[in-house]
């Protein structure tokens, strides 16, 4: 699940003197490179050290300790959640950015840097320097581009000083990207106009098909599409949201088992789902977990099922084009494979050659059409692209054990 700052703070250990000293050392190094002031916070978001002497922002300009703590908490917890430095405009319009200090995946403190104004506020320079005498006037006002650059540099400084858990932050950053993907789909669907309660079933079907073909890009896109529709439908009804999520989970589980999933794995996932649902209060928490399930499944299955996924797409193409002359080169191209590789894999997965498979499918279709009794044998042969009647008869006998006429007579007798 995505890191939860509130959970991360529970029973968080206090900052040790060693960590404070290491943090202060890195922030002083950061100040030498940038001229930017920084402060160090404990797990309660109280300022415990200034990296430029006994300086804390609430002692100067605003003198409102509680409002400052709220801003500092927001910066640290959002940075923890997003897995990167977080830039914030505080309640007195100063630009701040910062990072958490973590231990055992818990927030034990943090560092806040910045305390600058955007360059369009340059007319306030004299007042600003009066309130913040320790800052260099050249760094009092920054462009948004400079703020982004300095924010990134703080991350690099913390990383080099081993003050952050890089793996945790990488994971958090990936989770934030997932949330961004869903948000983009949500906006896209909102722009399409009125909500259609039936469209969700069409999008669920698209998702199931992409899982069957093990197409990672399509799975991600279709899952985001379904999740955004669920959110639009259940935005004000958490019970409906949970029901839709359960419905989606069951559909995905069933589909994954159809294409090679292990029943024991899905029993374990169902137990996880039950636990997760108890704490589910928004679509993003569940969808992040669901995406992880899909990613794990696909990464396990992809090496053995990728070939079959390509063959399945080829088979689907064959079935949809029985009225055409199907060439090996053409079908191989539809699944982006060379003729020789496709021919080899097709035989491995189906147990027969490409021409034999095409003919067997055509004959099965011919048997259906004969049973329907609406077309003559000549018309059936032509509709399935057999170049003459004798070849059609010969092929039909090979796969059905009877000639078309004999099969037609048998059908009439038994019906």
User: Per residue of the chain (415 residues), what is the pLDDT tens digit?
Assistant: 445 555 444 444 567 888 888 999 999 999 888 888 888 998 888 888 755 444 445 444 455 678 888 889 999 988 887 778 888 888 777 889 999 998 877 888 999 998 888 776 677 667 666 666 655 566 677 888 888 889 999 988 988 888 877 776 766 666 666 666 666 776 676 556 555 667 778 888 888 888 777 666 777 788 878 877 777 776 667 777 778 877 887 888 788 777 766 677 667 767 766 666 666 555 666 666 667 666 666 666 655 555 667 788 899 999 999 999 899 999 999 888 889 888 988 888 888 999 999 999 999 999 999 998 888 999 999 999 988 889 999 999 999 999 999 998 888 887 6
pTM here? 0.45
Are residues 60 and 32 in contact, defined by beta-carbon separation less than 8 angstroms? no
Whole-number Å distance between alpha carbons of 37 and 384: 78
Positive or negative, the CA dihedral 209, 211, 217, 219 is: positive
Are residues 317 and 310 in contact, defined by beta-carbon separation less than 8 angstroms? no
Are residues 206 and 121 in contact, defined by beta-carbon separation less than 8 angstroms? no
Are residues 390 and 405 in contact, defined by beta-carbon separation less than 8 angstroms? no
DSSP run (H or E) holding 88 = strand 86-89
Whole-number Å distance between alpha carbons of 315 and 321: 10
Token representation of residue 333? 């191209």
β-strand pairing of 86-89 with 47-50? unpaired
| Domains recognised in the chain with CATH numbers | 5-164 (3.30.450), 173-303 (no CATH), 321-415 (1.10.10.60)
For 214, the 3-state DSSP assignment is coil
Whole-number Å distance between alpha carbons of 304 and 256: 14
């Amino acid at each position: 699940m995505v890191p939860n700052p509130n959970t991360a703070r529970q029973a968080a250990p206090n900052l040790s003197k060693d960590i404070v000293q290491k943090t202060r050392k890195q922030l002083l190094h950061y100040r030498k490179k940038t001229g930017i002031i920084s402060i160090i916070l404990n797990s309660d978001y109280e300022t415990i050290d200034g990296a430029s002497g006994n300086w804390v922002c609430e002692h100067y300009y605003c003198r409102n300790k509680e409002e400052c703590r709220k801003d500092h908490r927001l910066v640290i917890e959002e940075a923890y959640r997003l897995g990167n430095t977080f830039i914030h405009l505080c309640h007195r319009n100063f630009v701040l950015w910062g990072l958490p200090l973590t231990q055992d995946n818990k927030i034990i403190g943090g560092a806040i840097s910045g305390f600058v104004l955007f360059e369009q506020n340059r007319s306030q320079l004299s007042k600003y320097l009066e309130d913040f005498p320790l800052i260099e006037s050249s760094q009092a006002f920054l462009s948004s581009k400079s703020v982004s650059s300095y924010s990134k540099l703080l991350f690099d400084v913390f990383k080099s000083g081993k003050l952050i858990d890089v793996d945790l932050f990488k994971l958090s950053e990936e989770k934030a990207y997932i949330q961004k993907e869903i948000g983009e789909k949500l906006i896209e669907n909102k722009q399409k106009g009125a909500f259609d309660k039936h469209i969700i079933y069409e999008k669920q079907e698209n998702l199931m098909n992409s899982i069957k073909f093990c197409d990672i890009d399509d799975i991600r896109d279709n899952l985001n599409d379904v999740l955004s529709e669920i959110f639009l439908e259940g935005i004000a009804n958490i019970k409906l949201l949970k029901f839709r999520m359960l419905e989606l989970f069951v559909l995905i589980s069933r589909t994954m088992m159809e294409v090679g999933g292990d029943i024991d794995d899905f029993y374990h996932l169902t137990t996880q789902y039950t636990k997760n649902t108890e704490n589910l209060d928004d679509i993003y928490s569940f969808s992040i977990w669901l995406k992880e399930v899909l990613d794990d499944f696909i990464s396990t299955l992809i090496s053995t099922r990728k070939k079959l996924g390509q063959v399945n797409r080829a088979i689907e193409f064959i079935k949809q084009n029985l009225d055409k002359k199907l060439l090996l080169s053409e079908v191989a191209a539809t699944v982006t494979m060379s003729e020789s590789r496709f021919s080899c894999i097709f035989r491995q997965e189906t147990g027969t050659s490409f021409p034999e498979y095409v003919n067997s499918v055509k004959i099965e279709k011919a048997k259906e059409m004969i049973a329907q009794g609406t077309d003559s044998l000549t018309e059936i042969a032509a509709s399935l692209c057999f170049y003459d009647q004798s070849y059609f008869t010969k092929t039909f006998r090979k796969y059905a054990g009877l000639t078309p006429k004999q099969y037609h007579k048998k059908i009439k007798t038994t019906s």
